[in-house]
Amino acid sequence: MRAKDIMNSPVVTVRPDDTVQEAARLMLQHEVSCLVVVDEKRHVAGILTHSDFGLHRKLVPLADNLYQMLGSWADPKTVEDIAHKVAVRRVKDVMTREVEVVSEDEPVGAVVEKMLRRQVNRLPVVRDKELVGIITRHDLLKLIAADKALSSSRPEGTANP
């Protein structure tokens, strides 16, 4: 199997100059946990994941009630104010810029190896540098499902070769 056999396509994308608010709306509208950031040629410029929007409690001495949202500090009472301030920020200011990509013809084993090595949950798939799909850890279930379909066609009690 190759990356193109298990990838999702089309990919929901965003541009670097879009606002964080626009990106958040896209994620909610399409029920996705990440957006691939692309330039005008659909080349991958970055990635923005749902965890980039999350509130992260920071273990700061003497400040255990502080949270961080897209780089801004907040206490529980001012979270809404901070949310309004970060909504107007640009995607390019908060995205992850160094993104590992895979070719659509890359073997699935190599894709899994890259995910594990880089400790990432998703990899954009490209053809000649242009975004054509995305693979998430969830898509690896397709391998298990495909194997199950093969084994269900065998007579009961026979093992995989």
158, part of any domain: no
pTM flag (> 0.95): no
Q: What is the domain count for the chain?
A: 1
| Cis ω before 76 (30° cut-off from 0) | no
Per-residue model confidence as pLDDT tens digits over 109-148: 999 999 999 999 999 999 999 999 999 988 888 777 776 4
What is the CATH classification number for the domain harbouring 34? 3.10.580.10
Residue 76 scores a pLDDT above 80: no
Residue at 6: amino acid letter: I
What's the pLDDT score for residue 84? Answer: 75
How does DSSP assign 42-107, residue by residue? Answer: -BEEEEEEGGGTS-EE---TT-TT-EEETTEEE-GGGHHHHHHHHHTSBHHHHSB-----EETTSB
Give the structural domain span for 26. 3-152
39, part of any domain: yes
